[in-house]
Structure 1
Amino acid sequence: MIKLYYHPSPNPAKVALFLEEAGLPYELVPVDTRKGEQHALEFLAVNPNGKTPALVDDDVVVFDSNAILLYLAAKNGAFLPDDTPAARAQMLSWLMFVATGIGPYSGQAVHFKHFAPEPKEYAVNRYDFEAQRHWALIDAQLAKHRYMLGETYTLVDMAVWGWARAVPFILGADAWSNLPNVKRLLDEINARPAAQRVESLKTRHSFKTEMDDEARKALFPQNARLAAL
């Protein structure tokens, strides 16, 4: 039985979407990051990076959401593009673009806009600019195709969907006016039963939502070093 270590945030959501779309049975293991459960030794044993998600498939352990998507797709022969060098190259290029661009810059934009202490004007400007630039490239790709790799729904669309759900929080309430094709993809995937099942996962467990001192300590441990200076 697959175990998915899960928190209702973008990276775990895209893995849950794959599992639901593929109809793979799995056990959901909640990890409440605002309570610091990602720092527990039990979780660090499956993900030494201390970030959700992680996946255990019998004796196989995979961490990093994009690695998990690739592992599941290869093992199950599902949600992959055509088996040609050109198609695989496009898949890897866009999936790594989500991994190294969309995720990190969107995450840092959220951090500096919503949670970082002052002064932060320079950081907000940098990460907001880069997040907008990265999302514009996704939108341009989707302007040419129904899905990220053409006319076939793949794991790359799932990776994009995980973060696209948070675009207004990342870029602001008016973000969709500049990203109509991303919004189209988001709406289409949201209408799929698998995506609706993923959205319901967060109601099965009482994940902490308050950003109090406990949550700040768990999510931003670097602040302890600042306080000691």
Structure 2
Amino acid sequence: MIDVYSWATPNGHKIHIMMEECGYRLDRDWRAIPIDIGKGDQFKPAFLKISPNNKIPAIVDPNGPDGKPIHLFESGAILLYLANKMGRFLPKSIRGKYETMEWLMFQMGGLGPMLGQNHHFRLYAPQKIDYAIERYTNEAKRLYGVLDERLKKNKFIVGNEYTIADIAIYPWTRRWDKQGMDLKDYPNFKRWFEMVGARPAVQRGVEVLTTLRKPEMDPKEKEQLFGATQYQRRKLAK
């Protein structure tokens, strides 16, 4: 059984969806171990052994590629690992693999960080900073435009094949309404978004751990995520 250390966030949901898409079932083939990032679970020494960057998700697979346990952090690396382990959602052709990794990196290096900043300044920042809100809303619109153009001639992000690129991108766009977007402006993206969202495994994946997450963060939780606690140096337990 694979242990997934996670929380109900876009990056966490990527792995939840991937597990379910691969035919693994929650509490039968994999476990979701909650890391409450509002309470500071991500800073505990035991978790830091698995994820030294104190971020979710992370996994522990007792049956690694060499027959020994392996632990991984960073959602993109985990998706690539699972795709190779299970032989699914990563094209067989060299060209297809690189196209998929290209769009996976697009999500990891651009879409995720920029939409994350958009969320922060719109929903969580203690002061409303007009410049920051405008800057990240405009960047979000640009990125949605990139996706819309890509999907004009493609059923999925990488041609006609559903891949880890789709799995990585979808959770970050679920809150498009909170990002200042109007899907009427992105019809090709809207078609893809609704199609991916209708997949049973996706619907199961995005529900994992959601009952544990409070609808709004209190000041203490915000301090854990955005305040000085985030920047303290930590040592791993021996």
TM-score by length of 1: 0.90
Q: Deviations over 1:13-46 (max 9, x none)?
A: 0111110010132111011112222222222221
Shift of 1:206: 2.4
Q: Is the 8 A contact 1:54 1:62 kept in 2?
A: yes
Q: What SS does the aligned partner of 2:105 have? A: helix
CA distance in 2, matches of 1:128, 1:119: 13
Of stretches 183-192 and 106-115 in structure 1, the one that deviates more from structure 2 is 183-192
Letter in 1 for 2:201: A
Tell me which residue corresponds to 2:234.
none
Q: Is the 8 A contact 2:34 2:209 kept in 1?
A: no
Tell me which residue corresponds to 2:199.
192
Q: Which has the higher helix share?
A: 1
Aligned residue runs from structure 1 range 105-184, under 5 A = 105-118=114-127, 120-172=129-181, 175-184=182-191
Q: Is the 8 A contact 1:32 1:208 kept in 2?
A: no
The alignment status of 1:67 with 2:74, answered yes or no, reads no
- 2:99 maps to which of 83, 90, 105: 90
The alignment status of 1:32 with 2:32, answered yes or no, reads no
Tell me which residue corresponds to 1:76.
86
Hey, which bits of structure 1, 4+ residues long, moved more than 3 A? 222-225
Q: Mark the CA change 1:136 to 1:42 in structure 2 (over 3 Å): closer, same or farther.
A: same
Q: What SS does the aligned partner of 1:28 have? A: strand
Tell me which residue corresponds to 2:218.
212
Letter in 2 for 1:185: W
Identity percentage over the alignment? 38
Shift of 1:11: 0.7
Q: Which runs of 5+ in 1 are unaligned?
A: none
CA RMSD of aligned residues (A): 1.8
Q: Is the 8 A contact 1:53 1:63 kept in 2?
A: yes
CA distance in 1, matches of 2:190, 2:7: 23
Q: Deviations over 1:139-176 (max 9, x none)?
A: 1111110000111111111111111212211234xx21
Of stretches 11-20 and 159-168 in structure 1, the one that deviates more from structure 2 is 159-168
CA distance in 2, matches of 1:68, 1:201: 17
Q: Mark the CA change 1:46 to 1:223 in structure 2 (over 3 Å): closer, same or farther.
A: closer
TM-score by length of 2: 0.86
Q: Is the 8 A contact 2:22 2:88 kept in 1?
A: yes
Tell me which residue corresponds to 1:21.
21
Q: Is the 8 A contact 2:170 2:196 kept in 1?
A: yes
CA distance in 1, matches of 2:82, 2:180: 31
Q: Deviations over 1:34-75 (max 9, x none)?
A: 222222222222111111111111121111111110111112
CA distance in 2, matches of 1:88, 1:138: 19
